Structure 1
Amino acid sequence: MAIKSAQKSAPQPARAPRNRQAITLDLVARLTPSAGQADKLSTAFGLEPVDFDEVRAATEGQLGLSTKVLSSTINETGLRIHLQRVVGAFVGSALGAATFYSAKVTVARELTMKLTNEDRDEDRDGVSGFGSKAARAREFAAQAGLTAFALFAAATGAVHAFQELTGEQWKPYEAPIALSRSVGAQTAALQMDALS
């Protein structure tokens, strides 16, 4: 029977911390269509308008009911941590939708600008009964914009509910920066590796 020897590995150098931008409600607001833009989108494309206040209130109510039920079995600190994560998920989802919207606007803009090029060889109109690729891209971008606006409303409600329920303002979770090991700890690790 052959015995495999374990390969010894040298200690890995500490990774340099990455500077990531915190996902905040303000960041989402900068990327999401405003209320005026959302109204224009629903009017111009014949889409159902988003009732911002209703979505926000429903989300606040949902978190309030959930917290009320959980408070009998989870202590205050545990509940705060849970709410921190839930609100973070709402804000992260809204950021994803806003970023997606921005990308789709860029695609729609590029396709629409191609239509104005007089020298192009492509057909200008889509097949009879169907819109052109540019028209479909514009409509898809409009739908993405209204989705982003609705999820921003939900995230706004979640952030407001967090403050109402905990008495604290919600802040995005930021993992602590891992400090590199001291020279003494690195030396001890090397010595223990040599002993084994």
Structure 2
Amino acid sequence: MAQKNAQKSASQPARAPQTQQPITLELVALLTPTPVQADKLSAAFGLDPVDFDSVCEATDEQFTLSAKALHPTVNETALKIHLQRIVGAFVGSAHGAATFYSNKVTVARELTMKLANEDRDEDRDGVSGFDSRAARAREFAAQSGLTAFALYAAASGAVHAFKELTGEEWKPYVAPTAPSRSVSAQATAAQMDALG
């Protein structure tokens, strides 16, 4: 059995590394509601509006205070690396929320379209006194949109603070691609696998 597995792995070509699109603030902006859309979501669903500028400024201040507190102990290069990672987390979180929002809009549209279908046999409205599934899906999508908009504001503040603190534009970290293994390295791996 072990011999079959070793032969299988030795005969299979090395997989090409998966290239993943870096998550940038620009990519997040494409998926997030615009300020006009966010205002419409707040008004149409009776939800609290997001104060984009306040969230952005508060995040910027938070980064600046944190950097000042670390400055005496952490050198400039280490601080830059630290801030790079933290900003990456903010942008990644905003991207996750924006993607989630996008998915929830799709679900809300599908459920609403089903309601518009005249030939369906299901009940059109929810139980008396309750919203239909489509209405709940639309409201959940709206809440998700405002969450995505708020997290985009926080990510924008983090990116701005990074530039102010380091003097450089923030760019997402992209891991260097590992070189593909040579034939001799693959043969060595197969031989070591065979040896157990």
TM-score normalised to structure 1 length? 0.88
User: Where does residue 152 of structure 2 map in the other structure?
Assistant: 152
Give the letter for the 1:106 counterpart. T
Displacement over 6 Å in runs of 4+: 9-13, 187-196
User: Where does residue 39 of structure 2 map in the other structure?
Assistant: 39
User: Where does residue 77 of structure 1 map in the other structure?
Assistant: 77
User: Where does residue 6 of structure 1 map in the other structure?
Assistant: none
Aligned: 1:117 with 2:117: yes
User: Where does residue 97 of structure 1 map in the other structure?
Assistant: 97
Post-superposition offset of 1:181: 3.5
Deviation by residue 1:144-172 (Cα, 9 ceiling, x = unmatched): 00000000000000000000000010000
Give the letter for the 2:63 counterpart. L
> Match of 2:23, SS?
coil
User: Where does residue 3 of structure 2 map in the other structure?
Assistant: none
Give the letter for the 1:127 counterpart. V
Task: Report the Cα distance in structure 1 between the residues aligned to 2:188 and 2:16, rounded to whole angstroms.
Answer: 22
Post-superposition offset of 1:122: 1.3
> Match of 1:92, SS?
helix
Give the letter for the 2:54 counterpart. E
User: Where does residue 59 of structure 2 map in the other structure?
Assistant: 59
Change (3 A) 1:99 1:190: closer
User: Where does residue 108 of structure 2 map in the other structure?
Assistant: 108
Post-superposition offset of 1:129: 1.6
Give the letter for the 1:168 counterpart. E
Identity of aligned residues (%): 74
User: Where does residue 178 of structure 1 map in the other structure?
Assistant: 178
Deviation by residue 1:7-55 (Cα, 9 ceiling, x = unmatched): xx78876441111111000000000000000000000000000000000
TM-score normalised to structure 2 length? 0.88
Task: Report the Cα distance in structure 1 between the residues aligned to 2:185 and 2:134, rounded to whole angstroms.
Answer: 60
User: Where does residue 3 of structure 1 map in the other structure?
Assistant: none
> Match of 1:72, SS?
coil
Post-superposition offset of 1:131: 0.6
- Can you give the 5+ residue segments of structure 1 that lack an aligned partner in the other structure? 1-8
Number of residue pairs matched by the alignment? 189
Change (3 A) 1:73 1:121: same
